[in-house]
Structure 1
Amino acid sequence: MQLDPATLLVVNSTVTLLAGALFLTSWRQAPEERTLAYWGVAHLVGAAGTTGLALRGQIPDPVSVGLSNAVILCAYGLIWSGVRSFERRHPRVGLAMAGALIWCALCFIPAFYESLTLRIVYASGVATLYCGAATIEIWRGRAERLASRFTAAAVLGLHGAFYAVRIPATLLAPPQVDRNPLASPWVAILCFATILFSIAAAFTFMALVKERAEREQRIAASTDALTGVRNRRAFVTAAVAALGSRDDGALLLFDLDRFKAVNDVHGHAVGDAVLVGFCTMATSLLPHDALLGRMGGEEFVCFLPRISAAEALARAEDVRKAFARLRVPELPELRVSVSIGIAQAHRGLGLDALMRRADAALYAAKNGGRDRVAVAARAA
């Protein structure tokens, strides 16, 4: 079965156009997601360029060869920019347009413009670079665990690999200059590859945006809005799971001393800054697997898995001393401190019981003069 190359290009253009319209429609529903706008414009631009290629022989060659290919290269650059935008990096639209601008400049050189081989090699090389760069950007962001991230990297990487293979294939078997370029088998292969890419990109990139939105909603629901640590519900869930998987560990209960006076004397803005500063400092001093949460007001809690009583006491003292040294040059009279109660976990002791023991130790630290650490006696 033989398919007319121009028809394949029109189908390619139509599919790409629909993908672009889908992206832009989604962007209008979520204007803050500029990534969708980049991908939408990229697909619309690509559809326009592909249409120009399909009209080869019906419109002037400078338009179908020079301008249309430049537009397609712009589309790949915009896809790369969209990926950078998704990864919250500067889109660098100037670099995205560089491949097309260089193409336009080269087309003014007769030796390049008249050589189909050179044109194919250059265009394929630029598409490979943009797809490869977009794949790397997606891979660099893998710390953000999104289910479709690796699929997106595979889609971009495979499409770039197709163009990469086209370069040595063209050099080893140069196209015949006396034939209609659209009659080349590569045109049909390119059309099918681009159609598959447009469909896969639409589903995958839309899924990425959706997964990130859902992830951020989950994080917001489990995070204290002011300090960025776990809220009470999220801490309890994490601590119960940690206690269920292990019998050892320690619970630290923190209460900032005389915090009401800080708010009354210096204002709530300073009080909020003190809370944020405490969490930032505690996070930097506690182990990476520490579960830190805000119970409410100026009270915080932390579960340290796999830690002995002596190690928990040392960690608590580090936090207490560091917080007591906190100084604000603009407020030289500001003094802050924290009292800490520690309860050691052991087999059969649930979170509620552990919290009660840590709270009793905290009460003892408060009654003992504040700015100190107290350890609950180990239950028999």
Structure 2
Amino acid sequence: MGENFAFFLPVMLASFSIAFLILYSRGMRVAGWWSTGYLCVAGGFTTPVVYSAVPTPLWSLLADILFATGFLFFSEALLQRWRPLWLRPARVAIWGLSCFLCATALAVGNLPMELAASDFGCFLLIALPLIAARGQLTSGADRTLFAAATLVAIDNLVRGSTIQLTLAQGIDYLVSDYAFLTQALACIFGMFLALAALATQVLDLLTRYERDAMIDPLSGLLNRRGFDDAVMQLGTTARSGSVVVCDIDHFKVVNDEHGHAVGDRVIVALARMLEHKTPDTTITARFGGEEFVLFLPGTDAACAAAIANDIRECFTRDIGSTLPLMRSLTASFGLSTVRRADTSIHDTIARADESLYKAKSRGRNQVCVSRAVAHPNFKSATTPAAASAR
């Protein structure tokens, strides 16, 4: 084991720790476990260098504790991805038992026992998450991470099982085959595990950024960009259906009288109502302020109007009972169906917007559609007509 190699490995592992720490600062909480784990393992590989300067058996015990702690954090990081909190007390018990056996072996001067206790403890700590990963490997990144963790587990198991072959009696530990294999394989498999874990964290971060770009942060619904993308993914399915545009009546009065916090609660309440009272295939978005847009693929005007009217009635009835409002709150709806001549979904939205303005001009709190519909159960709360036809 050359001196340059002995210095390189802790520096490499510490560098990975810093990389994970940067991801943690970007809100990736699991990266914090990886960062701490690699920092501990880097510290464990640093102790032989410190031992050369200040010889004392305590450095060996510190290294054992750091390795066990690092692998405990690795197991936590893996399980946070695949099965959070699974067997945490058992894993902590394995960590404690490994450290205890290492201390006992060190006290009686049994180096093979100390190394075996450390290796088998690390093996168990990283092997348990592999069991929990069954059925969770849905992506290539997860499968690569699983493979890397498996190699690290096998490395510790084989190394702990072959101590008698790699640690010749009478040979100093620092120049033994065991020490060389420990550092060489840790360099290879430790780098593989770090790169696999970094890949999963970076992909998760990119997914989160992509989601944030598509989702309205207040309502949790799609924003304009997300709506356009969702409709585009429908392909030919988007060539038929209905668009409903919804706008809360006199919403500015709510903000003026009750403050923006209550106004935000109204937005969130309506968003949840739009999700729960529409078919699962509906694409629901908040286009800004108090305006919402729904696309119901394959739904004709009559069915879409009935859904819109149900939402309108429930909104007026339920919002007043759940929020501290001084006056009744209503919403207006405009509706249009997709036509063959439409070049995009925005042509349909434009017609639905026109119907919404007509609903506003006719007294609000009603559903106005761009074509006549007939539905026996569809009645306006403010006019006897079921819908206003253009």
Q: Give the corresponding residue for 2:209.
A: 217
- Asked if 1:102 is matched to 2:97, the reply is yes
Aligned partners of 1:23 and 1:36 also within 8 Å = no
Please state how far the C-alpha of 1:300 moved relative to its aligned partner. Answer: 0.6
- Asked if 1:248 is matched to 2:243, the reply is no
Q: Give the corresponding residue for 2:345.
A: 351
Amino acid at match of 1:283: E
- Asked if 1:160 is matched to 2:160, the reply is no
Aligned partners of 1:340 and 1:373 also within 8 Å = yes
Alignment deviations for residues 327-379 of structure 1 (CA, whole Å, 9 cap, x no partner): 35561534323222332335443313211332244345445554333443289
Aligned partners of 1:254 and 1:301 also within 8 Å = yes
Aligned positions, number: 369
Aligned partners of 2:105 and 2:114 also within 8 Å = no
Q: Give the corresponding residue for 2:40.
A: 45
CA RMSD of aligned residues (A): 4.5
Out of 246, 255, 263, the residue aligned to residue 263 of structure 1 is 255
Matched residue SS, 1:270: helix
Amino acid at match of 2:330: S
Q: Higher mean Cα deviation, 296-305 or 98-107?
A: 98-107
Please state how far the C-alpha of 1:193 moved relative to its aligned partner. Answer: 3.0
TM-score between both structures, scaled by the size of structure 1: 0.74
Q: Give the corresponding residue for 1:3.
A: none
Amino acid at match of 2:17: F
* Distance (Å, rounded) in 2 between the aligned partners of 1:161 and 1:76: 14
TM-score between both structures, scaled by the size of structure 2: 0.73
Matched residue SS, 1:327: helix
Please state how far the C-alpha of 1:20 moved relative to its aligned partner. Answer: 1.3
Q: Higher mean Cα deviation, 362-371 or 122-131?
A: 362-371
- Asked if 1:77 is matched to 2:69, the reply is no
Distance 1:175 1:208, change over 3 A: closer
Aligned partners of 2:99 and 2:118 also within 8 Å = no
* Distance (Å, rounded) in 2 between the aligned partners of 1:21 and 1:128: 24
Amino acid at match of 2:188: L
- Asked if 1:331 is matched to 2:324, the reply is yes
Please state how far the C-alpha of 1:66 moved relative to its aligned partner. Answer: 3.9
Matched residue SS, 1:47: helix
Out of 12, 17, 20, the residue aligned to residue 18 of structure 1 is 12
Amino acid at match of 1:68: A
- Asked if 1:373 is matched to 2:367, the reply is yes
Aligned partners of 1:117 and 1:175 also within 8 Å = no
Amino acid at match of 1:356: A
Out of 318, 333, 336, the residue aligned to residue 340 of structure 1 is 333
* Distance (Å, rounded) in 2 between the aligned partners of 1:71 and 1:362: 66
* Distance (Å, rounded) in 2 between the aligned partners of 1:356 and 1:94: 59
Q: Give the corresponding residue for 2:381.
A: none
Amino acid at match of 2:246: F
* Distance (Å, rounded) in 2 between the aligned partners of 1:284 and 1:117: 63
Amino acid at match of 2:15: A
Q: Give the corresponding residue for 2:223.
A: 231
Structure 2 unaligned spans of 5+: 374-390
Alignment deviations for residues 36-65 of structure 1 (CA, whole Å, 9 cap, x no partner): 554344323223323446899998784465
Please state how far the C-alpha of 1:274 moved relative to its aligned partner. Answer: 0.5
* Distance (Å, rounded) in 2 between the aligned partners of 1:90 and 1:76: 15
Aligned partners of 1:320 and 1:371 also within 8 Å = yes
Distance 1:170 1:313, change over 3 A: farther
Q: Higher mean Cα deviation, 69-78 or 123-132?
A: 123-132
Q: Give the corresponding residue for 2:386.
A: none
Distance 1:111 1:28, change over 3 A: closer
Structure number with higher relative contact order (C-alpha < 8 Å, ≥ 6 residues apart): 1
Amino acid at match of 2:285: G
Alignment deviations for residues 257-291 of structure 1 (CA, whole Å, 9 cap, x no partner): 23233223322221121112111222233334432
Distance 1:175 1:185, change over 3 A: closer
Matched residue SS, 2:216: coil
Amino acid at match of 1:50: F
Matched residue SS, 1:340: strand
Matched residue SS, 2:239: coil
Aligned partners of 1:12 and 1:194 also within 8 Å = no
Aligned partners of 1:252 and 1:301 also within 8 Å = yes
Structure 1 unaligned spans of 5+: 1-5
Identity %: 24
Amino acid at match of 1:17: V
Please state how far the C-alpha of 1:140 moved relative to its aligned partner. Answer: 8.8
Distance 1:107 1:268, change over 3 A: closer
Please state how far the C-alpha of 1:303 moved relative to its aligned partner. Answer: 1.4
Aligned partners of 1:339 and 1:365 also within 8 Å = yes
Out of 285, 288, 305, the residue aligned to residue 293 of structure 1 is 285
